[in-house]
Amino acid sequence: MNQLQDKWMLEFLDNAMYRLDASTRMVKICLERVEESKIWEKPNESSNSIGNQILHICGNMTQYIVASLGEHDDIRNREEEFSLTAGFTKFQLLQKLDDTIENARAVLHQCNAEQLLKKREVQGFNLSGIGIVIHAVEHYSYHTGQIAFWTKLMTNNDLGFYDGIDLNIKN
């Protein structure tokens, strides 16, 4: 592989890991603001609690990145991610999330071009390694937004994700 291909692949993986870390930072801010008793509360029967969302993020990240891209056994129990109504504290959920993201980062650090181009079946979808990474990152981001929205509804507070950063700066 030439240097440009190496740089492109490393840049892609670095940005994917940056986005994983950004979502993790935001989820942690949300959990700091939500009372322990509210972690398993649902806005309605068609929605999921923050606890369910975190379990779902961990299940999806493990299935897509750790199991599929990392070529480990897929042991995900997707239905359980949504059916649980208790069983984890905020601390335990954060630990599970941190461990899952660390495992995903370890797989991404080990990726090579062949793994990123190889096609795999995941949840019935035929994706390249690049497609798997994109899915996992955007899926985490999507649910981070749901957690943030539900946190704002419960607390009626700004979450300050970008405090101290001027987001109005022009390019």
> For the residues 13-31, what does the mean pLDDT come to?
98
Task: Give pLDDT, residue 4.
Answer: 63
Please give the tally of structural domains in the chain: 1
> For the residues 24-51, what does the mean pLDDT come to?
96
Sequence-distant (6+) residues with CB within 8 A of 154 are 34, 38, 41
Entry field: residues in the chain: 171
Mean pLDDT over each residue of the chain, to the nearest integer: 94
Q: Is the pLDDT of residue 2 over 60?
A: yes
Q: What is the DSSP letter of 37?
A: G
In-domain check, residue 41: yes
Task: Give pLDDT, residue 6.
Answer: 83
In-domain check, residue 168: no
CB 126 within 8 A of CB 115: no
62: CATH: 1.20.120.450
**At 95, is the pLDDT very low, low, confident or very high (cuts 50, 70, 90)?**
very high
Quickly count: other Cβ atoms within 10 Å of residue 41's Cβ: 14
Quickly count: other Cβ atoms within 10 Å of residue 28's Cβ: 14
> For the residues 38-54, what does the mean pLDDT come to?
95
Task: Give pLDDT, residue 123.
Answer: 94
In-domain check, residue 115: yes
In-domain check, residue 167: no
CB 110 within 8 A of CB 68: no
Q: Is the pLDDT of residue 1 over 70?
A: no
In-domain check, residue 95: yes
In-domain check, residue 7: yes
* Cα–Cα distance, 66 to 114 (Å, whole number): 16
In-domain check, residue 91: yes
Task: Give pLDDT, residue 171.
Answer: 86
In-domain check, residue 170: no
Q: Is the pLDDT of residue 5 over 80?
A: no
Domain that holds residue 44: 3-155
Task: Give pLDDT, residue 3.
Answer: 74
Share of the chain above pLDDT 70, in %: 98
Task: Give pLDDT, residue 109.
Answer: 95
pLDDT tens digits for range 112-152: 999 999 999 999 999 999 999 999 999 999 999 999 999 99
pLDDT tens digits for range 7-20: 899 999 999 999 99
Check: pTM over 0.95? Answer yes or no.
no
